[in-house]
Amino acid sequence: MKPLVFVDRRLPLEVLQYIEEHCTVKTWGKDEERNPEQLRHYLQDVVGFFNSSSVPIDSKLLDCAPNLKVVSTMSVGYNHFDLDAMKRRNIIGTHTPYVLDDTVADLVIGLMLSTARRIAELDTYIKAGNWKGNEGKKLFGVDVHHQKLGIIGMGRIGEVIAKRAALGFDMDVMYYNRSRKPEVEAQYGVTYVSMQHLLEQADFVVLMLPLTAESRNIIGQEQFASMKKNAIFINTSRGGTVVEQHLIEALQQGIIGGAGLDVFEQEPLPSDHPFLTLSNVVLTPHIGSATEATRYNMAKIAAQNLVHALQGNDKAYVVKELL
């Protein structure tokens, strides 16, 4: 008998058919996100869960899924996993690393360029009919090439960013990480430094840390005060890694030069959020992996993870804390 699984989103036909070859599938079949109450109903009798939402996989949810063995999330991040609760239940959790590295790196470089050269701001300026042709320095931005880039968190995506910045833009790249990456240093000429040195010296600071107890609110008032006055801060990791109010104050008071943000404490942003009134911020709606090709590949890998984990083989990308 095929194992019963629940898929909480619409999937490409080929991906759904792959799961159906190996499993009996229950699907949500709608585009809107599921709430916890709805999930608890669907998870009552399944052994596998294809998860694409940010609903916490916690004790309250797991208590309603007595047969659950595998949760396969369609994301590289898994901060919505209650790892202790999953360990107690011996539930396997998988994610989708590697597949979105290049796509997220694209967005980081795009945010750097857009913020530095004021692309979004000046797009609005010209569309509003304000371009008169005699603005002079009023429209100036700052260079990206040959500037100093500091990457906080040299994981897989950080390595791709370092490669593009060093080889494509001739940037002087430094990084801070829990452990050194000598191979990355040798390959791309990047330099390992302390976090404080990075904050003080970088023209662009890119935050690429997963959200953990250690990284929550890692960037706040003290860190922004340490940055250069014209520094540009980029965050495509998780909103919880930054004390958002301190970032707002740093931008409003000119403590730093600007920011490019794809993630926020509250998503979607409230209509009265201060970020929406600031001209020195470029905002995107948490779209780091949002291309059709990448999302298809993420769905495919998540489906393979689900099937492999249920079959008990070692091909699934199990999150390291649950190995």
Give catalytic residue positions. Answer: 238, 267, 286
Between strands 24-27 and 4-7, the pairing is: parallel
Q: Which residues pair with 261 in a beta bridge?
A: 235, 283
Kindly write down the DSSP assignment for every residue of 179-209, as one continuous string: S--HHHHHHH--EE--HHHHHHH-SEEEE--
Q: How many CB atoms are closer than 10 A to CB 219? A: 25
Cα–Cα nearest to 281, from 121, 151, 168, 60: 121
Q: Peptide bond before 270: cis, by omega within 30 degrees of 0?
A: no
Please say whether the beta carbons of 92 and 113 come within 8 A: no
DSSP letter (8 states) at residue 269: P
d(CA 146, CA 169): 6
For residue 316, give the amino acid letter.
A
DSSP letter (8 states) at residue 294: H
